[in-house]
Structure 1
Amino acid sequence: MATLENIRKRGPLVATVIGLALLAFILGDLLNSGTTLFSSGRYEVAEIAGQSVHIQEYQNKIEELTEMYKSQYGGAVDAGLNDRVRNDVWEQLVQNYVMKKEYEATGVGVHSEEVFDMVQGQSISPMIRNLFTNPQTGAFNPQDVVNYLQNIKFDKTGAAKAQWLYIEKELLSQRVYQKYQNLIAKGLYVTENQAKREMEGRSKVVSISYIAQVLTSVAPEKIKVTDADIKKYYKEHKKKFKQERAADIAYVSFDVTPSAEDQLKAEEDIKSLLNEFTSTENAEQFVNANSDAKFDPTNYKKEDLSANIAEFAFSQPLGSVFGPYFENGTFKLSKITNRKMVPDSIKARHILVSVNNTVTAEAAQAKADSLKKLIQSGTAFAELAMVNSDDKGSAMQGGDLNWFTEGRMVREFNDACFSAKKGELLTVKTQFGIHLIEVTDIGTGSEKAQLATLVHEVNPSTKTFQAFYNSATEFANSIKKSSDFDTIISQKRLEKRIAGNLGEMDFNIAGLEQPRELISWVFKGEKGDISKVYELGNRFVVAQITELKEKGFASIESVKPQIEAILTTEMQGAFLAEEFKKAAEGQNNLTAIASKLQLEVKNADNISFSAFAITGAGNEPKLIGTVSNLEKGKLSKPIIGTNAVYIAIVNEITENPATQTATEEQLRMQRSIAGRAGFQSYEALRQASEINDLRSKFF
């Protein structure tokens, strides 16, 4: 007690001492970790246009969009969809931060009345239309949006409210972005002179003769690209070699395949079901309960079945079982469940009465029955379909679905149609609602068999997976130094695969399943590093980092082959152009020049300034531009093109009459520019913004 009393008396002093100790502890931790009290760098997921983005903001948006996907598509979000969500959120974040200052500078904003109009008014947002369109009928009903908003308060979980708040934010973001794009588009103008020049470029066509010598025909010894040439080009064109952080890897994939033991077990498993499958009276139910593939109700012609089963299906009595037999990596047992004459195709029309929040199944059935009575009493089916069918695609055709083969429609609809007589009226319930159907024609029939097929896939066992993992581990452990990677691959006769130019936030490598963890490792390593064994689906992968490229400008060494190829092409063009110039001195005849150069004179017709290619020459914009403005009968100077050097002469100039006025062309060009303006303006702003993507620290 005395001790407690002393502490109380000295409380302020004790508090000060404890506070100083805690501060020293915190400062020590911060200093050791390389951060400061005022730094949030460790939680920064990006820096966009000079603005820091906290990981929590990014993560919150990922969670919001994930919940949206769950609500819209149902169930959990798989790894592939999760990657898509992260990328979608990233792109939206970049857009918001890049555009933020632009919106402020231009005063672009969104009023609450605009939001109402996008949700319930005359200008329904595509996002709202997509979210609230009935998937069964393809129809959008604004009342469904109102019902959703009114029912939000009854959702005790708060999920509906959170979802709507996300939708509202997205609507605002999309709307302000669209308004900015419109602002840019309205600020652009096409003059009448521009329109006239464009029309002239299309209306004037020329016929030419030309000679060509391909660039690659120049002997290598006549071209010499020096290191000084390469350095000069690199210095003058350095911006061409700007690069993001990237990496190249080599890897070995140990693909897990079933062993002979796995195959034997799968065969034994399906054999154990043979007697029960043979004796069961409900083959469909048995297949759905015991097979790796659902029951297929389709009736097949003999020629549509595989060679394994075709003869059996049409020669044995109903209830007979064939197998087990091996087909497409699976063991199968097939039982004949039916064999009858079935039409190859049916022609039908229908009226769909949807079942939804406002129409019960009973009400839909009652409406379908009343429509059936009207048709039976003489009212035209087509007229009723146009007015009453919720299948808007066929309603405009009087409900006509034209001809369709078996299996094209959902099962209930299919079975009803292929069992009906011509002219018969029937109603059937499907996932889309109640259908009133009339079979209007029946195609030629043929004998078909229905088979219940029990399928057992041959899958690798745990023991097999372990064996392949051991092989991958043995390979990885045998690599003691970087150069061993290639040596051991050669010794063990393994296949080395390459994945080049990987981005720091890439999620895919062709042929590998969900390789994000592997990619993340690559950018935390160094050139030559060997990875651990990664399990990627049915593969075990061991990789080596073969190249790491830092963000900035590619080194001259790494782009030397590229520059050398560019300079070689330029020098080849210059060399041939000089040869052409010498051959053309004092000549006005293309044939004589061709003879000197031992070249063939070629012809091409109907070339306009807007053409993309020339017959026999391909895509050669310099040649097209030159001959489109060349006087008739005048030889051109040597033209260094993309693939060859040319000399051309215009033989004929034709002025085709314009198909539209200058004003119409002006409007066409205006629409074209307006359509590109928004996207191109954003891309320009994005490229001008410094974007430092730090997501790889967290994902």
Structure 2
Amino acid sequence: MATLETIRTKAGVVVAIVIGISLAAFILGDMFQGGGSFFQGNRLKIGEINGETILYPDFHQQVEKLGDIYRMNTQQNQLDEDTWVQIREQTWQSMIRDMVMDEVYEKLGVAVSDDEFFDMLQGTNLHPIVQQLFRNPNTGQVDRGAVVEFLRNLETGVAPEQRQYWLYIEKQIEEDRIQSKYNNLVAKGIYVTTPEAENSLNSKNRQVNFNYIMLNHNTVADSQVVATEKELRDYYNRNQNLYKQEKLRQIEYITFPVVPSKQDFEQSEKWINDIVSDFASATDNVSFVNSNSDVGFDDTWYKQADLPEDIAMWIYETNAEEGSIFGPYFEDDSYRLAKLHAIKMLPDSVEARHILLRVESQEDLINNQALADSLKKAIEGGSNFAQLAMQYSTDQGSAIQGGELGWFGRGMMVKPFEEAAFNNKVNEVTIVNSQFGIHIVQTTRRGKETKQVQVATLIRNVTPGTQTYQKIYA
């Protein structure tokens, strides 16, 4: 459910087209200059699928729809060019699949019934996509009540963007099931007959003995082998397939670089200026950045030397307080706002030890969580950490050392483990989960502490907008 709740609400762009008397003059004038807009279809044609012409406006509309889904999924207002390339390719492949296979599915009667669709969305056989969206991260179980509640409120209780995203999910689920049915249908229609199986078996088991003499080619002089023109021609005619060559094509093309227009810069600058007050008053900086910025929240702790010079001077030279705002400013093709999120005295490195309890199933998670709680209490009660590590830890490399990991700095351990080790006081014990399992972490020594900060940065990348792309293409 959390996945769907993170989809941001955006206002749509309303385009008004005013049709006046001048339109007739424009059309007539365009017709007299190079064929007119009545023949513009050929210029807007970008391809052909199954005999049907694909025009750029239609293709671009589908690209934009899929782009909106990507924005909601990634929680980014703008997408980079590499992502757009991926979206365009995915859109094109989807159009090919729909325009070619829909006709095949219809002829074969391959479809998804209403009852079957209901069963995949909220019945006993939930589709994997639904399971992933509504799985409780703590228990690993699917919250069926949340599924039913969401679908009940789909028409009136959710934002339009959430409804659009869910309809896209439903389409993906339906297409996945239809394709699965088709693949199974084809697979079941391909089989090996009994005679074919017998011939294959006999050919594999057939053995023969023979004598032979080998004569290397290099022992025969070229002058001793004479091939007539007729023999060469006959050989060529019999083996033409060995000499086939692919057709070569020479292509000339022109590239039109698409760069942000003046309007794109102005819109991005206006956006960053308009959001200053909201960012300054936000109480949850992490959620605000993740919901509005083109780049997610950076939870790295920075020393003065690790920050850009202007940000470092603002924080360290002016003794900025938590919640202070810097900017807007322009950097790396983006407008930015920086907010001092947190200040702490932290060490550059720590010495720690741990006990790792590996988790491979839901049952392991429950049992090992209880074991971790017991081990934590035992350690805090004075039990020997090293002995417990050698007995229980599944990290054999450190277990034989009593769980000792030695000194390490930032970025050397997985994030949850690192945060626990660096935030612990000396000899404090903390339980954290990572992709490796459950860790019981004890920090034994801390290095010299220095002032370190977390900066919440709101970033608005300046990228070509839809109108910029359309102007270039036109």
Structure exhibiting the larger radius of gyration computed from Cα positions: 1
**Larger proportion of strand:** 1
Higher RCO by CA contacts (8 Å cutoff, separation 6 or greater): 1
Q: What TM-score does the superposition give when structure 2 sets the normalisation length?
A: 0.49
After TM superposition, the score normalised by the length of structure 1 is 0.35
